[in-house]
Amino acid sequence: MEGVQPEGVGDKYSLIVPTYNERLNIALLVYLVFKHLRDVDFEIIIVDDGSPDGTQDVVKQLQQVYGDDRILLRARPRKLGLGTAYAHGLKHASGNFVVIMDADLSHHPKYLPSFIKKQQETGASIVTGTRYVKGGGVHGWTLMRKLTSRGANVLAQTFLWPGVSDLTGSFRLYRKSVLEDLISSCVSKGYVFQMEMIVRASRKGYHIEEVPITFVDRVFGSSKLGGSEIIEYLKGLAYLLVTT
């Protein structure tokens, strides 16, 4: 793989992808991962929360194409929260590094080589994708959505001082042992989960690096962010302020 250092030999990457009604996106995501990680040892763990749209049927077809050792379907009966989806996927991960990413193509797999390269160059425990540094950005969002996201980050930066520019992003590479440690100490379940993870990582002194990414609003399906998530975010911010 272009630009990746030889010391990465022997590393394996487990990509945990939570899904709910992502039938239209999952095949393209998998194709793009295989395209951009040609010379990398990896597996994709799909944690589907009982999607009624046939997501699991598509994943089973993908297993026939790529092999069920590369595409692991680890389904759950219903929606149980993002944090628990990662914990569930982590139990089945055989890699020494874990990537968490969304299924809706908002996280383009073309960035994965730069995550891996950054980790190998710096020895970081966490590499997180950021929309808020030079080279990063957002595509397809309304001004209101941009302001909400930016405001959420500024609020958290002001109160929590985590030393990371994009707290609510959910495209990250972790050392498996670090992710296990962080998940065991996190209490948030939904939208706040990503913020709690990175704040706790900062408090524990883990080495965190950032890679600029362009976040693209979902191509198919509907966004799962609404007013209730914003309230949940503010509650989570208050909780972290008190407990970290």
Distance CA 32, CA 15 (A): 13
Beta bridge partners of 120: none
Give the per-residue pLDDT at 161: 66
Binning pLDDT at 50, 70 and 90, where does residue 222 land?
low
| 21 located within any domain | yes
| 2 located within any domain | no
Give the per-residue pLDDT at 177: 97
DSSP H helices in 73-175: 82-91, 112-122, 143-160
Q: Are residues 44 and 103 in contact, defined by beta-carbon separation less than 8 angstroms?
A: no
Give the per-residue pLDDT at 119: 98
| 3 located within any domain | no
Q: Which helix (H) or strand (E) holds 183?
A: helix 176-185
pLDDT single digits (tens) 35-93: 999 999 999 999 999 999 999 999 999 999 999 999 999 999 998 888 889 999 999 99
Is 7's pLDDT higher than 60? no
Kindly report the CATH number assigned to the domain that includes residue 57. Answer: 3.90.550.10
pLDDT single digits (tens) 116-147: 999 999 999 999 999 877 777 766 666 776 66
Number of domains in the chain: 1
| 197 located within any domain | yes
| 6 located within any domain | no
Q: Which of 168, 82, 96, 79 is nearest to 132 (CA)?
A: 168
% of the chain beyond a pLDDT of 70: 79
Give the per-residue pLDDT at 228: 63
- Residue range of the domain that includes 71: 11-243
Is 5's pLDDT higher than 80? no
| 112 located within any domain | yes
**Chain centroid offset of residue 165 CA:** 16
| 78 located within any domain | yes
Residues 6+ apart with CB under 8 A from 63: 71, 73
Distance CA 196, CA 182 (A): 9
DSSP 8-state secondary structure symbol assigned to residue 49: B
| 27 located within any domain | yes
pLDDT single digits (tens) 167-217: 777 899 999 999 999 999 888 766 678 888 998 999 999 999 999 998 876
The single residue listed with the structure tokens 């890679």 is 211
